[in-house]
Chain A
Amino acid sequence: MSDLLFEAKGVEVTYGQSQGLFGHGRPGVRVLHGVDLKIKRGETVGIVGESGSGKTTLGRALLKLVPVSGGTIRFDGQDITNLSPDAMRPLRRRMQMIFQDPMASLNPRHSIRQILTEPLFLHGLATDRRDAERQVRAILDRVSLPPVTLDRAPHELSGGQRQRIGIARAVLMKPDFVLADEIVSGLDVSTQAQVLNILKALSKEMGLSMAFISHDLSVIRAVCDRVTVMRFGEVVEEGPCETVFDAPQSPYTRLLLDAIPLPEIDDGWLTRPAPSLETAA
């Protein structure tokens, strides 16, 4: 069994392409330009970039939520690049996602119980209602939420609680891989810490592979083993966190790191010129 869970090579994604009638098609906008990404089993890889970097698109491409216009994606050795939606369906249990906006990612008209138990039934992971209830209560406990939460609707929970439900939903099916797309961006720093600690603990317990998308390099450092830095749809630098953070090779990475305001006094920070993008490594 290969060590690599995900292997993406030369992935290209184009939006807005259309065939049109009689040759009046549109070429579309290329959002990812030949991106490579490798994720090992049990590894957490951070994908970082600013707006327009393509990081969100890359995550969605891995999960085949957006069509891939070039390159290949292998999941656990299998080429999934051109699989049809029907063929993808049985694989979906093994690759899950946690979303950025905890309000929008839980169906407002469903109860938490429904949101958590339906996937179990879909994939035959629960023998009956009692078994499903047991599993769901167990996962709620794991994310530090009380069982009464099951009877609530999403709008009755706080942002942090909803995000924990999002985590619970993702890991409930015991996937191999979880994509976390800016999952703490809208949260207060103490809630963020709580949510990330839960995620890290779960991921270690379950041996999950993760792709952690964020614009916040500090969060990435705290959560990830490796990091891929993206800009304008391309990979600018990638490597283990210690290497990239302590000795960044790319001028863009240095620019990003320099721009982060740390909570300590540094009188020159504002006036110091940012590292130039032209300087060679």
Chain B
Amino acid sequence: MAEIVTTTADAPVPLRSLPMKTIKPLLREPRVVIAGGFLILLLLIAIFAPYIAPKDPLEQDLMLGNMPPVTSPGAEPGYYLGTDDLGRDVLSRVLYGSRIALTVAFVAASLSAIIGTLMGLAAGWYGGWADRIISRLVDIWMAFPPVLLSVLLVAVLGSGLHSVIAAIVIIDWTRFCRVVRAETMAQARLDYVMAAETIGFSRSHILWREILPNVAPVLIALVSLEMGIAVIVEAILSFVGLSLSSDIPTWGGMIAQGRQMIHQGWWVFVFPLIALFATVLAFNQLGNGLRKALDPVMRR
């Protein structure tokens, strides 16, 4: 559109406050709405599990072992998704399993993000020796086989959520560091950074007030992806028995258990798998959608 001289009031774009301006495009992106909606639902399930779950997830009833879900003949009423070999309700266990999954997702992703971002910002902005040391550290760190590291950690710290989270954070902070470092360096080359320098802002002011808001979109998208990764890692670790004790329901644990008795009862294997898949898919799609929705601001 040809540049039109405007000397009086014009307002081709309706006025909105800045927070609304960032949120509106998010809500227009279908992936954000659908995946985000699902995850909020999951969060509510996790929080209100004691009120939603029909049965106590730990309650065993050997008389009701291996009951199929309601759709199949011979099902026990009240146990909608069937029971496992110890008579525990699969539905309730899947619902409770979301607690572990989401706890690990949020805590592990946040901690990795915080550590990785701080290192990445320092390396990308201050450069020089900070960058050299941090980059070398990341290179060496990433050379370590992650599975070995996880097993080692669990052996040292004992099995439990804390070691699962620690394992994820210790391995995945490097992913954040690399991405944030690259994005910081890309932003630092842009003119608005030089403009801030000419105005006289201090180095740290520029980093936190000018650069970080522009690194944030990539970072937020990565956090969402990381949550999906964390859920999978927890599932893998509990699959191999390195996570919580098998009594407390985790999706990975249920999948492991179900795998062994897949012929007697496929439902113990399938339902937690579906839950896992849906959750990880949701985190991935949310991440992709966020990245798309938050970025085009620049590209117009």
On A, residues with C-beta under 8 Å from B are 63, 65, 85, 89-90, 92-93, 95-97, 99-101, 103-111, 118-119, 122-123, 144-146, 148, 151-153, 155-156, 158-161, 169, 173, 187-188, 190-191, 194
Contact = CB atoms under 8 A, between A and B. Distances in A.
A160 B191 contact: no
A188 B4 CA distance: 10
B247 to A, nearest CB: 48
The prevalent SS among residues of A at the interface is: loop
A63 B3 contact: no
B297 A146 contact: no
Contacts of A156: 13
B197 A96 contact: no
A148 B11 contact: yes
A159 B2 CA distance: 10
Contacts of B72: none
Interface of B: 1-3, 5-11, 13, 15, 17-18, 21, 190-192, 194-203, 209-210, 213-214, 216, 297-298, 300
Nearest to B12: A156
Nearest to B300: A155
B15 to A, nearest CB: 6
Contacts of B201: 118, 122
A122 B199 contact: yes
Q: Which 3 A-B pairs have the closest CB atoms?
A: A92-B200, A109-B213, A105-B191
A107 B3 contact: no
8 contacts: A63-B198, A65-B194, A89-B202, A97-B195, A104-B191, A109-B297, A146-B8, A153-B18
A144 B297 contact: no
B162 to A, nearest CB: 36
A151 to B, nearest CB: 6
A104 B2 CA distance: 20
A183 B35 CA distance: 44
A160 B3 contact: yes
Most buried by A among B1, B197, B216: B197
A101 B189 CA distance: 13
Given A65-B197, A101-B191, A160-B3, A107 B214 contact: yes
Contacts of B195: 97, 99, 105-106, 169
Contacts of B10: 146, 148
